[in-house]
Structure 1
């Protein structure tokens, strides 16, 4: 069975940003995440959808 979620560190690596920036984006509601116990998990499908939406927005602006 494939993983359904990423840790914050895995998400940061996937996006090519720092861990602190990833936490900031999660806490600000920018990145989709769920809290399981004391840890955040980022659903892979939600992250991919978010990334595609952000890419589309930037294409419309330019």
Structure 2
């Protein structure tokens, strides 16, 4: 039954990244990622003492932070 619930909500299709992986993708420090998570600018899920960030949240953050200098 639990697998059936995950399929309906799409949770099984979410890819989560560690803080270190997000830092690599964004080319920033892990502390910067932690600040973004704690300020609410970057969505994350707490798993024990760690955070996991949905890949879509990183994509959305970067899309919204895009700055056209030209």
Which residues of structure 1 form unaligned runs of 5+?
Answer: none
| Greater C-alpha Rg | 2
* CA distance in structure 2 between the aligned counterparts of 1:53 and 1:22, rounded to whole angstroms: 16
Please give the residue correspondences for 1:1-62 in structure 2 after superposition, counting only pairs within 5 Å.
4-55=15-66, 58-59=67-68
Superposition RMSD in Å: 2.0
Q: TM-score, normalised by structure 1?
A: 0.77
Which aligned segments of 4 or more residues in structure 1 are displaced greater than 4 angstroms?
A: none
Gaps of 5+ in 2: 1-12
Q: TM-score, normalised by structure 2?
A: 0.69
Q: Secondary structure at the match of 1:20?
A: helix
Aligned residue pairs total 58
